[in-house]
Every structure is written in structure tokens, then in C-alpha cells.
Chains A and B, each alone.
Chain A
Amino acid sequence: AQKVTQAQTEISVVEKEDVTLDCVYETRDTTYYLFWYKQPPSGELVFLIRRNSFDEQNEISGRYSWNFQKSTSSFNFTITASQVVDSAVYFCALDSGTYKYIFGTGTRLKVLA
């Protein structure tokens, strides 16, 4: 069975703090893709990053970085020097190529000024 677990329901940080959002996945497939999406208070869903199962390189994009570890089935997302505009719900998702695309339950991040 496929599953995505985001155990952190809600996180609050003060602006400029670093924060890591956890994502743990389960799949029996050897080829799969992992994604992060952002849902700001306005409600739209925005694609942030995609990783395939053969590429364990970490990725950095500005203040965002992602750490993919197959050994622990995790795909964690770190925001460095958080800002109020980072306040949103963040979803991790798994696509194992069966055309079913599974989302986690999301982590609500609140960045306080």
C-alpha cells in the first residue's frame, strides 16, 4: 500500500527561524516520485518540487531545501530564515507511477512576525 505521513499537524515559528517539515512515505514500487506543494491562505495549491526515486541529491532553491533519504523513506522540507509569507499549509505527495497520486494530510506552518 502507498502512504504519505506528515506527522506535524501544525508548526509555529518566529520569523527568521529555520523550520523543517517532515514527510515519510511508504511504497513497494522501486520507481516513484515525491512532491511538495504549498497552499497559502488564499487556497490555491502551488507545486514546489519533484524528486524521483533514483535521485537522492538534496536540492536547494533560495531559502528552501529538500532532503531526500531512501534509507528512511523520508523527503523533508526545510525553510531557512522563515518569513511571514511562508505561512501556509504544505503537502507532501507520492506518485508511484500507478497513476494514483497520494497526498499527506498536510502541515500548517505559521510564521509569526
Chain B
Amino acid sequence: EAQVTQNPRYLITVTGKKLTVTCSQNMNHEYMSWYRQDPGLGLRQIYYSMNVEVTDKGDVPEGYKVSRKEKRNFPLILESPSPNQTSLYFCASSFKDRFYGYTFGSGTRLTVV
């Protein structure tokens, strides 16, 4: 089944403790992206990647890191999480031309206390 797999689905962590949210897709998509969803703000792009080893900042990159060492994987790293990073996170992927729109992962609900 074609899908984007995010893990974990739920995570509660403490301020400052490094964490990684994994994202993997099995559709051979070139383009991958991370979003955070907050009430009243919609989805805001954190980082995106056009292909292996090519990444760029979205609109809200502060406090996040990404890497794209393999085409299928695009992990999101929070080196020192803070409470304002409590949010619902989505990973998405698509072909380079984005003709069929994004395929989204199921989301990761992160709480930083």
C-alpha cells in the first residue's frame, strides 16, 4: 500500500530532550515536507526537500533540523524541544511536479512539557 509512515503517533517529552520524528514513504517521491498544525494557524511548512541531500527552510524552521540521506526517509529532529513546539506534525510527500498533490502521514502529536 502506498503510504507515508510517521512515528511515533504520540509523544510527550520534556524541555531540552532531543527527539526525532521519523517519516518514510514508499512511493519513490522526490519531494518531501514537514508541516506543523496549530489551531487558527492552519498548516505551516517547516522544511522541505526536493530530492536526496537537497533541503530548504519553509516558513517556520527555527528549532528544527532535517536530513535527506535516502529518498524514502525525511526525519524531523528537535535538538532542544521547547513548549512552543507542542503541536501536531505532518510529513508529506509527492512527485516532483506535485501533480497529484501531497500524500500525508497520519500525524505526530507532540507535547513538550
A residues with CB within 8 A of B: 6, 9, 33, 35, 37, 43-47, 49-50, 91, 95, 99-106
What residue of chain B has the Cβ atom nearest to residue A106's Cβ? B42
B104 touches A44 (CB 8 A): yes
B59 touches A100 (CB 8 A): yes
Q: Nearest chain B CB to A43's CB is how many angstroms away?
A: 6
Checking B41, B88, B101 against A50 with a beta-carbon cut-off of 8 angstroms, the contacting residue is B101
A69 to B104, alpha carbons, bound, how many Å?
27
Q: List 12 A-B contacts (CB under 8 A).
A: A33-B98, A35-B101, A35-B102, A37-B102, A43-B88, A45-B43, A47-B101, A47-B103, A101-B33, A101-B102, A103-B45, A104-B42
B40 touches A100 (CB 8 A): no
Checking A45, A99, A104, A106 against B31 with a beta-carbon cut-off of 8 angstroms, the contacting residue is A99
